[in-house]
Amino acid sequence: MKKRPAKAHRPHTTRVYRGGETSERQRELPEEMPVALSFNGTTQAVMMATPADLEDFGRGFALTEGIATPDEIEDLQVLVGAAGIDVQMWLGTEAEARLAARRRHMAGPVGCGLCGLDSIEAVLRDVAQVTAALSLTPAQVTAAMAALPGHQSLHDVTRAAHGAGFFIPGRGMVLAREDVGRHNALDKLAGALLAGGVDTGMGAVVLTCRVSIDMVQKCAALGAPVMIAVSAPTAHAVRLAEALGLTLIGLARGDGFEVFTHPDRIRPERNADVA
């Protein structure tokens, strides 16, 4: 293996049938390839992912899956081979012990944060309570959702990628990442926030997807107090968000949204700025 760049999207010629007419056009398709996440020389997970922002992906996955904090990652390398990419991370002693305990609960290869775990206890892992005192106005929630499309360049050319962004009142959308997988996009965002030293208690995670239990776990592990999504959450995701102190907002489209948990973080519009 060697380190070299990989393209996030590629052109493909399609035949278009529309309005009784036939034509050909070039369409950009998002690239998807196996990305292994390896710790201390052993592969922990293999994801089908977009080959971009993979250092962010590695750091974010390690944090949101409870494997390692950024300061426990001693080295990180992205190695590209003919069949896929290996994101290799080397951990300190405490994180290595934590990883060994996690591996004892693995039933097989994984494709997301929960697949392959062999017990209910392993799936419903402990995540720290979200305690940040952030509050948003309805206009700021709407502005956060409206700002994300402007940071989705891969989706613009392919129409086939999820986006995850981080919105801070008064600053707008400060970071965003994309991937064909919704979990991957959130992990990449987490890694970018960590690398940038962003205070995650000061803003909201904004997503283009539905909200499941594992997305709530990842957001809470990041320490973000608010999650805003274009689609609805599952019932279990709502229960977990309520228990963790996370404000979960779904169906955020146009000028409306629904607050499923901890609505106290949504304050009246009076004397409030919109960013």
pLDDT band at 98 (very low <50, low <70, confident <90, very high): confident
pLDDT of residue 123: 52
pLDDT of residue 212: 92
pLDDT digits (tens, 9 = 90+) for 161-192: 999 999 999 999 999 999 999 999 999 999 99
* Neighbour-count burial for 169-205, b at 16+ CB within 10 Å, e otherwise: beebbbbbbbbbbbbbbbbbbbbbbbeeebebebbbb
- Round the average pLDDT of the chain to a whole number and report it: 88
Q: Which residue has the tokens 């693995």?
A: 106
pLDDT digits (tens, 9 = 90+) for 4-57: 557 889 899 988 888 888 899 888 999 989 999 999 999 988 899 999 999 999
Q: Which residue has the tokens 């995540």?
A: 127
pLDDT of residue 128: 87
pLDDT band at 101 (very low <50, low <70, confident <90, very high): confident
> What residue ranges define each of the domains in the chain, with the CATH number in brackets?
33-123 (3.10.20.10), 138-265 (3.40.140.10)
pLDDT of residue 102: 73
CA angle, residues 163, 166, 169, in degrees to nearest 5: 140
Q: Which residue has the tokens 């959450």?
A: 233
pLDDT of residue 273: 57
pLDDT band at 120 (very low <50, low <70, confident <90, very high): very low
H or E segment and range at residue 193: helix 182-195
Amino acid letter for position 247: T
CB 220 within 8 Å of CB 262: no
pLDDT of residue 61: 95
Mean pLDDT over 104-124 rounds to: 48
Which strands form 247-253's sheet, in the order they lie side by side?
A: 172-179, 162-168, 204-207, 226-229, 247-253, 256-259
Mean pLDDT over 58-71 rounds to: 94
Whether the per-residue pLDDT at 118 is higher than 70: the answer is no
CB 183 within 8 Å of CB 164: no
- Residues facing 21 on adjacent strands: 18
Task: State percent of the chain over pLDDT 90.
Answer: 69
pLDDT digits (tens, 9 = 90+) for 148-167: 999 999 999 999 999 999 99
Is 219 annotated in the active site? Answer: no
pLDDT band at 125 (very low <50, low <70, confident <90, very high): low
Largest CA distance in the chain: 65
What is the gyration radius of the CA atoms in the chain, in angstroms? 19
pLDDT digits (tens, 9 = 90+) for 10-22: 899 988 888 888 8
Catalytic annotation, pick one of 112, 115, 209, 219? 112
pLDDT band at 96 (very low <50, low <70, confident <90, very high): very high
What is the tally of helices (H) and strands (E) in the chain? 8, 12
pLDDT of residue 10: 87
Mean pLDDT over 109-133 rounds to: 61
Q: Pick the residue with more confidence: 72 or 82? A: 72
